[in-house]
A = this chain, B = another copy of it.
Amino acid sequence: MNSANGFFVHSQAICESEDIGRDTRIWAFAHILPGARLGSECNVCDHVFIENDVQIGHRVTLKCGVQLWDGITIEDDVFIGPNATFTNDPFPRSKVYPQEFARTVIRKGASLGANCTVLPGLTIGTNAMVGAGAVVTRSVPANAIVVGNPAKIVGYVDARPVCHEQITAAGKVAAQTETMVKGVTLHTMNKFADLRGSLSVGNFGHAIPFKPVRYFMVYDVPTEEIRGEHAHRVCHQFLVAVKGLVHVVADDGIHRQEFILDKPTQGVYLPAMTWGIQYRYSPDAILMVFASHHYDATDYIRDYDEFRILTECAGNGRP
């Protein structure tokens, strides 16, 4: 039952499209409508249904029970788990959710867990992971891991969160500590406490490795919010959680690491060309950021894929 066109269709499957790539396999009880386009080396399992206005890249796996509706794009190397469900409209026939009727896009390398649900018009970012059973109601950034109903970010791929203490040598509080991410350092400021209260001091140019031209404070952040998700071309920053707790993800394009800031005497330094994310703010968190340059909109890189290309060109993180 080898197709003449280089792809395989099970005898009990119905494939009405001719636009199927080499070595793609279509299994029993699957049904593909004529307009659908599939790349090469895909695997379409039993009981899958694919409508017409659907574009699928190379090396995509569609496990059993998945349906792809008009208006869905799947990029290369995506995995869609069994019974993962896409939607045309979260509340059919209504306009409850605000998103406009854009295409649903699953970016390169993303994985969707078994039995998850994806609302219409969302984008699942590059390499992002959707947990089994998650109900995705907002677009998912690159590398993010989401779980739950509604789905929330619980981490980033390949970045296990570490406390300050876990990274410094046991029993030794260093003023400055290297991390796995190029140029990113953790810092401990002096603290003086007496009956009148506590006092923490940081000298610019010393404990904080540059002289800032401005500060900004971030506060009143809902716990489920993510901030950052960008890199700076020339600006460098120093972050202190003066109250509460914040998770900071730093990424040099090669390595990624997540730091938990939870003491007013701890800071993290982010050099230029570091992709930075802050999230998991505690309800009372206040994040103080010292910045080396004035605000400049052109200094921001907001697309992770562009950031990766720039760091590759710069040989970032390479010996």
Task: Please list the residues of chain A having a beta carbon within 8 angstroms of any beta carbon in chain B.
Answer: 12, 14, 28-29, 31, 45-47, 49, 61, 63-65, 67, 69, 79, 81-83, 85-87, 90-94, 96, 111-115, 117, 119, 129-135, 145, 147-150, 155, 157, 193, 195-205, 211-222, 225-227, 242-243, 264, 281, 284, 286, 288, 294-295
Contacts and interface: CB of A to CB of B under 8 A. Distances in A.
Given A91-B145, A197-B227, A198-B220, 6 more contacts: A28-B31, A87-B113, A92-B111, A117-B133, A196-B222, A198-B221
A220 B194 CA distance: 10
- Among A119, A197, A219: residue with most chain B CB under 10 A: A197
Chain A interface, >50% SS class: loop
Contacts of A134: 135, 149
Contacts of A82: 67, 69, 85-87
- Counting every copy of the chain, the complex holds 6
14 contacts: A31-B46, A79-B92, A85-B133, A94-B157, A96-B131, A132-B135, A196-B225, A198-B218, A198-B219, A201-B215, A205-B213, A242-B242, A242-B288, A243-B284
A139 B111 CA distance: 23
B204 A217 contact: no
B214 A204 contact: yes
A115 B201 contact: no
* Closest 10 A/B residue pairs (Cβ): A133-B135, A197-B221, A117-B133, A85-B115, A87-B114, A79-B92, A201-B216, A115-B117, A92-B111, A203-B214
B211 A211 contact: yes
A290 to B, nearest CB: 8
Contacts of A65: 47, 65, 67, 83, 85
Contact of A133 (B149, B202, B243): B149
Contact of A286 (B113, B135, B227, B243): B243
Contacts of A221: 196-198
